[in-house]
Amino acid sequence: MGYETNYQVSVDDQSIRLDDELESVSKYSGWDNGFLGAIKWYDHDADMRKLSKQWPKATFTVHGEGEDNLDLWDEYFVNGKMQRCEAVITYPQFDRKKLR
């Protein structure tokens, strides 16, 4: 079984053939403009670190949406380094004036 996540990968350097590069570092084929659908890419961070080292001036962004509704995040990769940003979901305070 396992946990599936929807991954959307993008890069700020349009000269990079993203789908080809993703197929070269991941075990998955069939990427379509940085998207493949729900997959079990458990070692995506190691693969993306490797890819970003090959293109050290580019910034790669990976957006993930897991099976759990609250599992939303973005990761940024530059020259083998990564920053992970978890989604922060907030609700505005109740305001009686907005009742309709």
23-49 residue pLDDT tens: 999 999 999 999 988 999 999 999 999
Q: For 16-27, what is each residue's pLDDT tens digit?
A: 999 999 999 999
**Long-range contact set of residues 8-12: C-beta below 8 Å, sequence gap at least 24:** 8/34, 8/35, 8/62, 8/63, 8/64, 9/34, 9/35, 9/48, 9/60, 9/61, 9/62, 9/63, 10/34, 10/60, 10/61, 10/63, 11/55, 11/58, 11/59, 11/60, 11/61, 12/58, 12/59, 12/61
Cross-sheet strand order for the sheet of 60-66: 35-39, 5-11, 60-66, 72-78, 81-86
1: pLDDT strictly greater than 80 = no
The residue among 78 and 37 whose pLDDT is bigger is 78
Q: How confident is the model at residue 98, as a pLDDT?
A: 95
Considering the entire predicted model, what is its pTM?
Answer: 0.90
